[in-house]
Amino acid sequence: MIEIKEHPLDKYLRADRIPHIWCPGCGLGSILNCFLHALKECKIDLDNLAIVSGIGCTGRVAGYLNVDSYHTTHGRAIPFATGLKLANPKIKVVVFSGDGDLFAIGGNHFIHAARRNVDITVICVNNYNYGMTGGQLGPTTPIGAKTTTTPYGNFEHPFNLCKVAAASGAVYVARWTALHVRRLKESMKEALMKKGFSFVEVIASCPTTYGRYNKMPTGLDTMKYYKENSIIMHSIDPNKTDIDDRIIVGKFVDIEKPTFDEMLKKVGK
Amino acid sequence: MKAKFYSGNIACAEGALRAGCRFFAGYPITPSTEIAEHMALKLPKVGGIFIQMEDEIASIAAVLGASWGGLKAMTATSGPGFSLMQENIGLAAITETPCVIVDVQRAGPSTGMPTLVGQGDVMQARWGSHGDYEVVALSPSTPEECFYMTIKAFNLSEEYRCPVILLMDESVGHTSEKIIIDDEKIEIFERRKPTDKPYFPFDENAPMACCGGGYRVHVTGLTHDRKGYPMATSPEVQEWLVRKICDKIRNNEARIRSIEEFLMDDAKLALVSFGGPARSCKSAVKKARNEGYKVGLIRLKTIWPFPEEYFEKMKDMDFLVVEVNYGQIKLEVERCVRKKVHLLPKMGGEIHKPDEIYEKIKEVYND
């Protein structure tokens, strides 16, 4: 007989929805764990927190959190979150989604929400590919990488998400990998407490669909890769954070700017 | 009671404000733009939010978010924008999210005739999104109706927790005339909120727990059970869900139905029309009556759900459908009366003139 004890983070999760659907070795488990700790340490009232996600593996995060949670259409989590936040400003709104969802189909919404400085936090789990549909090319796939739709290697220039976020007007921009759990948690805390459009990119392993084609068939291979190739460079110009042989991580932007709501109240009357 | 001189578009915006709409997200598109402009002017004065989004997809997504945020929310657009909104209209249907979408129709397909009238979005309003679902679509013929029907659209949307489409057309949106606002004719339906726990947000006829209400609702476009939890591989849950979202509209068609009958008592030929051209029909019917033709008009104020039962009872009648498209409502009337009905189409750009309808009445009548 195994005695089932309560996990200290159980109250943050819809325990009746566990186990989750993510693959072995996927970075999402540890990233979600970081997020739960961030929520706990920020003492966020779970009744006043909303998670909005789009479609894909990361999109499923919304379903596991024990808060008001919205699993919306592909790419449209940010505009949904914008409406939610403006309608109910007392709610802390977090968009938790993947690179394909936020930056391919949803790219336009991302840049405009950042431009407006809508007071939401966006956490993007970047695994360099479309995991849920079986590992196709995404907007962050590195040049040369093999995916099911780039069988001869990717020849498209990828987005540097932090550069896009900074250029679009985000007031907080940081990047970590799924290996940097403590720093990631701290960054998530900062982003949650930041007023305005805050953005955290998390580079994450996807052994099942990305790793398999790119010589990192297990989660551990990817973790080793992150360990050997990540460099922490806080406050570096986001223009200099392109991902190539090395992954530059750290907090790149932390500035103050009036939010959409504040501008509305100031100018709009 | 007060008199105002409004265009249909402004009357629609005023109706929305009166219904309690406090959130508008939209993207400019002719011939609907005056609605957004008027909401931009008026919403801040009543503590509401106006936001011009980056496109129509973002607009409807924001409307859904705002609805879950607890506000009555609306967007307004025209054909091409309406097409872009369809996926999220499907999300509204499956997540039972109240919202009002105004489509001031122009002629299409594609960019078509941006400044001129059309009524070609009838079928798009019905099943523009993928999958099985039902919506309510209302069609005003006058600016005064734009005012009252927008209120009705919000009421139905909140009552049935479904997207409601106000299927206007350019000829109504841009017509300006006197309208009478009579407070006694206005009823506002307020959103039902849950009071008990356990609470199942997607039970049949469940009230709606908005964000921050402490109910911690999961809302997903995936097939879901009464708790809102994904059940995307269960045929049983899918069966239950689709029946639920469709039947709440289908079974209430008689309650939702709104039809104006004009000189129908002894009519042998019934014109069927809606929106702007229905006014031309009325004057054509009057002229034909003066000439001794037993003709009447059925004006559809509710387009969807379609009044099947109503038409089924009129199998002995001859019908002439007058619409600014190539025969979309005609198909529905034919389906219900199970025989060929006559059609006087216009492909768009202008509405029918009373005389051409009168000529068609004579032709059909003497056939």
Q: Give per-residue pLDDT as tens, A27-53.
A: 999 999 999 999 999 999 999 999 999
The region of weakest confidence among A6-15, A130-139, B34-43, B342-351 is A6-15
Q: Is B295 on the interface with A (CB under 8 A)?
A: no
The shortest C-alpha distance from B216 to chain A (Å) reads 4
Instruction: Provide the pLDDT confidence category of residue B168 given band limits of 50, 70 and 90.
Output: very high
| Average pLDDT for A166-173 | 98
Query: Average per-residue pLDDT in chain B?
Result: 97
Q: Give per-residue pLDDT as tens, B111-165.
A: 999 999 999 999 999 999 999 999 999 999 999 999 999 999 999 999 999 999 9
| Average pLDDT for A116-134 | 97
Q: Give per-residue pLDDT as tens, A65-101.
A: 999 999 999 999 999 999 999 999 999 999 999 999 9
- B87 contacts in A (CB within 8 Å)? 73
pLDDT of residue A44: 97
Q: Give per-residue pLDDT as tens, B178-194.
A: 999 999 999 999 999 99
In B98-246, which ranges are E strands? Answer: 99-107, 113-117, 136-138, 163-169, 176-181, 218-220
Q: pTM for the complete prediction?
A: 0.97
Q: Is A72 on the interface with B (CB under 8 A)?
A: yes
pLDDT of residue A74: 98
Residues A197 and A170 sit within 8 Å (Cβ to Cβ): yes
pLDDT of residue B265: 96
Is residue B309 packed enough to be buried (19+ CB in 10 Å), middle (13-18) or exposed (0-12)?
exposed
Instruction: Provide the pLDDT confidence category of residue B62 given band limits of 50, 70 and 90.
Output: very high
The shortest C-alpha distance from A112 to chain B (Å) reads 7
- A82 contacts in B (CB within 8 Å)? 51, 53, 58, 62, 65
- Partner-chain contact A76 B58, CB within 8 Å: yes
Question: Judged by CB atoms within 8 Å, which residues 25-54 of A form the interface with B?
Answer: 46-48, 50, 52
- Report the share of chain A in percent with pLDDT over 70: 99
- Partner-chain contact B73 A85, CB within 8 Å: no
Judge whether residue B349 has pLDDT over 80.
yes
- B220 contacts in A (CB within 8 Å)? 62-63, 70-71
Q: Which residue of B has its CA nearest to A66?
A: B216
pLDDT of residue A228: 97
Task: Please tell me which of the candidates B58, B212, B221 has its beta carbon nearest to residue A47.
Answer: B212
Task: Please tell me which of the candidates B64, B215, B222 has its beta carbon nearest to residue A83.
Answer: B64
Instruction: Provide the pLDDT confidence category of residue A268 given band limits of 50, 70 and 90.
Output: low
pLDDT of residue B39: 98
- A79 contacts in B (CB within 8 Å)? 25, 53-54, 57-59, 61-62, 65
Diameter over CA atoms, chain A: 66
- Partner-chain contact B211 A84, CB within 8 Å: yes
Phi, psi of A95, deg, nearest 5: -100, 125
> What count of other Cβ atoms lies within 10 Å of the Cβ of residue B3?
9
Nearest to B202 by CA among B176, B223, B179, B233: B223
- A45 contacts in B (CB within 8 Å)? none
Instruction: Provide the pLDDT confidence category of residue B315 given band limits of 50, 70 and 90.
Output: confident
SS3 of chain A:
CCCCCCCCCHHHECHHHCCCCCCCCCCHHHHHHHHHHHHHHCCCCHHHEEEEECCCCHHHHHHHECCEEEECCCCCHHHHHHHHHHHCCCCEEEEEEEHHHHHHHCHHHHHHHHHHCCCCEEEEEECCEECCCCCEECCCCCCCCCECCECCCCCCCCCCHHHHHHHHCCCEEEEEECCCHHHHHHHHHHHHHCCCCEEEEEECCCCCCCHHHCCCCCHHHHHHHHHHHEEECCCCCHHHCCCCCCEEEEEEEECCCCCHHHHHHHHCC
pLDDT of residue B212: 97
Pairing of strands A172-177, A247-254: antiparallel
Residue B317 DSSP one-character state = S
- A72 contacts in B (CB within 8 Å)? 61, 64, 88, 91, 221
Cα three-residue angle A126-A127-A130, rounded to 5 degrees = 105
Report helix, strand or coil for B357.
Answer: helix
Q: What is the DSSP string of B180-222?
A: EE-GGG---PPPP---SSS--TTSTT-----TTSSS--EEESS
Instruction: Provide the pLDDT confidence category of residue B176 given band limits of 50, 70 and 90.
Output: very high
Instruction: Provide the pLDDT confidence category of residue A269 given band limits of 50, 70 and 90.
Output: low
Q: Which residue of A has its CA nearest to B88?
A: A73
Mutate to test the interface with A, among B211, B217, B222, B227 (most CBs of A within 10 A): B211
Report helix, strand or coil for B111.
Answer: coil
pLDDT of residue B317: 96
Q: Is B63 on the interface with A (CB under 8 A)?
A: yes
Instruction: Provide the pLDDT confidence category of residue A265 given band limits of 50, 70 and 90.
Output: confident
